[in-house]
Amino acid sequence: MIQKIIVFAAAVFLTGVGVCLAQPPGITREMISRALPLEGAPKAEPGPYQAMSEPAFGSPGFQVYRPTALDAFPGKDTLPVMVWGNGGCGIDSKTFSGFITTIVSHGVLVVGTVPQEGAARRQETADDMRAAIEWAEKENARASSPLNGKIAVDKVAAMGTSCGGFLSITLGADPRVKSIGVFNSGVRTPPAGQPQGAGGRGGPSSQPTADALSKLHGPVLLLNGGEPDFLMGASAATFEAINNVLVFYGARHNGGHSATYFHPGGGEFANVASNWLLWTFKGDKEAGKMFVGTNCSLCTNSNWDVKSKGINK
């Protein structure tokens, strides 16, 4: 039954937004929906907080995912912000609610897009993610908000998968964004003689080129689904091109392009994303053991190929 639910969620992910402008020629639905088999896969590990979601106050195009109880913030714990870019640049973060909920349970506020009734069908953009950051800033200052004074607006991450990963790279130039997560995604290299930003047969592409990487100013987490993931090469090339900030790269064997997003709680990729935010934004050394040192838990995990730059060994 769980496997059927995962397949259904992947189908919704693929069909909910129509044609993805950033989808490379020759990429099939089967290639996009390829995921890590559920049987025997590591399970999502929730944190100490119960999670809830609700429409964003005054912004019907956003959904907010947050800890239900907020008493610990900001005195005992910090509440960083993560803005999420959906696969296919879809306008529906609820498709990834399991993955997002696990991250929230570790004490993170997540803001994602949702469709508005009567609105024209379109793709998510980096401007949508910027608006999500602005919403969090305003909500932190709104006197009657339950989040008033509780959000760590100086700790903002942009994360996304596939086309949403392209948006995270673009958003990484924003001075408010202190870390980005680029999942099953990466920059593109135009063919010789083709100008940067051109999209070939499909017209202009939303996939950023390597020029965008020089504008990053915070730690970068790059994850992909290994050989079955058609953007593994772009992910690896992005790692090689980043030399100005700390970066960690992980390729999950047999993960596929949909990885574990539709496993219960988002599965293994939710654990990695959660630990990244705990380490980089909350200084959690236990979480950092997943990435730091030659004996880091992902470094010694035979299911992963990893490499890093700028991380103390």
Does the pLDDT value for residue 272 go beyond 80? yes
Question: Quick one: average pLDDT of 293-305?
Answer: 96
pLDDT of amino acid 313: 63
* Structure confidence by residue, pLDDT tens digits, 24-55: 578 999 999 999 999 999 999 999 999 999 99
Q: Which domain holds residue 146?
A: 2-188+201-309
- Reading the block at residue 150, the tokens are 């509780």
Question: Quick one: average pLDDT of 122-142?
Answer: 97
Confirm whether 196 is domain-assigned.
Answer: no
Spatial separation of the C-alpha atoms in residues 68 and 238, rounded to whole Å: 37
pLDDT of amino acid 207: 84
Confirm whether 195 is domain-assigned.
Answer: no
Confirm whether 193 is domain-assigned.
Answer: no
Confirm whether 15 is domain-assigned.
Answer: yes
Does the pLDDT value for residue 135 go beyond 80? yes
Report percent pLDDT > 90 for the chain: 82
Strands 51-56 and 109-113: unpaired
Confirm whether 210 is domain-assigned.
Answer: yes
Does the pLDDT value for residue 86 go beyond 60? yes
Average pLDDT, the chain: 89
Other Cβ atoms within 10 Å of 248 Cβ, number: 26
Does the pLDDT value for residue 17 go beyond 80? no
pLDDT of amino acid 26: 84
Question: Quick one: average pLDDT of 140-155?
Answer: 98
pLDDT of amino acid 10: 45
Confirm whether 97 is domain-assigned.
Answer: yes
pLDDT of amino acid 8: 39
What is the domain count for the chain? 1
CATH code of the domain covering residue 161: 3.40.50.1820
Q: Read off the pLDDT band of 280 (50, 70, 90).
A: very high
Confirm whether 80 is domain-assigned.
Answer: yes
* Structure confidence by residue, pLDDT tens digits, 185-243: 999 865 444 433 333 333 345 689 999 999 999 999 999 999 999 999 999 999 999 99
Amino acid at 27: I
User: Concatenated DSSP letters for the chain?
Assistant: -HHHHHHHHHHHHHHTT-S-TTPPTT--HHHHH-B--STTPPPP---SS-EEEEEETTEEEEEEEEES--TTTTTTS---EEEEE-GGG-S-GGGGHHHHHHHHTTT-EEEEE---TTPPP----HHHHHHHHHHHHHHHH-TT-TTTTTS-TT-EEEEEETHHHHHHHHHTTSTTEEEEEEES---B-PPTTPPTT--GGG-S-SS-BGGGGGG--S-EEEEE--TT-TTHHHHHHHHHH--SS-EEEEEETT--TTBTTTSGGGHHHHHHHHHHHHHHHH--HHHHTTTSSTT-TTTT-TTEEEEEES---
Confirm whether 73 is domain-assigned.
Answer: yes
